[in-house]
Amino acid sequence: MAFQNDSSAKELNPQNNFEQFGIFSLPNTDNDMIIRYLLECISGILTGSDNLPNSSEYQRLKALNFKGEGICDSRVWGVYSNFPATNLNPF
């Protein structure tokens, strides 16, 4: 059975003043998927990432129903990054 993110996590209200935090791991370790899934289930708030829409990582996590994939702004709480592997830094 394939993993599917079935959490009911929602976007943050941009009016709220939450501090964002970073989630960092090495590419292709699946640590990101497990950590993000647990955070979303426990908190009910989406986690995002700095993955680009044309990347295989973005496509893989989007297919697994990670709704915050590719979002780095105030709509998400934690932001996942493979930086410097992605050459992007959302912070």
- Sign for the CA dihedral angle at 14, 5, 64, 56 comes to positive
> Is 85 or 49 the better-scoring residue by pLDDT?
49
Tokens of 86: 């992605």
- pLDDT 10s digits, 33-84: 888 899 988 888 899 998 889 988 889 888 988 999 999 888 898 998 877 6
Average pLDDT over residues 24-40: 82
pLDDT at 1 over 60: no
Residue 67: C-alpha distances to residues 7, 11, 39, 90 (Å)? 10, 9, 13, 18
pLDDT at 9 over 70: yes
Tokens of 48: 């995002």
